[in-house]
Structure 1
Amino acid sequence: MIKRVAIVGAESTGKTTLAQQLAEHFGTVWVPEYGREYTEVSVGREAFFDYKWRNDEFVLIAQKQIELEDQLAKTANRVLICDTDVLATCIWQERYMGAWSPEVEKIAKQRTHDLYLLTDCDIPFAQDGLRDGEHLRQWMTNRFRQELTERELRWTLISGKDEQRLRTAVAAIEKLLNPSV
Structure 2
Amino acid sequence: MPHIPKIAIVGPESTGKSTMSDYLAAHYNTIAVPEYAREYCAKLTEPCTWQDEINMFYGQLALEEELLPRANKLLICDTTFITVKIWSDEMFGEAPKEVLDELPKHPYDLYLLLNIDLPWQDDPLRNFPTMRKHFMDVWHKELQALNANYIVISGTGADRYQSAVKAIDDFLI
TM-score range, shorter chain: over 0.9
Please tell me whether residue 20 in structure 1 is matched to residue 22 in structure 2. Answer: yes
Q: How far off is 1:141 after superposition? A: 0.8
2:44 corresponding residue in structure 1 = 42
Please tell me whether residue 149 in structure 1 is matched to residue 144 in structure 2. Answer: yes
Instruction: Please give the alpha-carbon distance, in whole angstroms, between the structure 2 residues aligned to 1:103 and 1:147.
Output: 16
What is the CA deviation profile of residues 5-60 of structure 1, one whole-angstrom value per residue up to 9, with x for unaligned ones?
111111111000000000010000000000111001133xxx6xxx2x32221111
Q: Which amino acid aligns with 2:14?
A: S
In the TM superposition, structure 1's runs of 4+ consecutive aligned residues that sit over 4 Å from their partners are: none
Q: How far off is 1:109 after superposition? A: 2.3
1:133 corresponding residue in structure 2 = 128
Q: Is the 8 A contact 2:11 2:113 kept in 1?
A: yes
1:79 corresponding residue in structure 2 = 74
Q: State the TM-score, normalized to the length of structure 1.
A: 0.90
Q: How far off is 1:128 after superposition? A: 1.7
1:167 corresponding residue in structure 2 = 162
Q: Which amino acid aligns with 1:27?
A: N
Q: Is the 8 A contact 1:115 1:153 kept in 2?
A: yes
What is the CA deviation profile of residues 140-178 of structure 1, one whole-angstrom value per residue up to 9, with x for unaligned ones?
111011111232110010111121211111111112222
Counterpart secondary structure, 2:130: helix
Counterpart secondary structure, 2:70: coil
Q: State the TM-score, normalized to the length of structure 2.
A: 0.94
Identical columns (%):
35
Instruction: Please give the alpha-carbon distance, in whole angstroms, between the structure 1 residues aligned to 2:87 and 2:11.
Output: 10
Q: Which amino acid aligns with 2:88?
A: Q
1:115 corresponding residue in structure 2 = 110
Structure 1: give runs of 5+ residues left out of the alignment: none
1:8 corresponding residue in structure 2 = 10
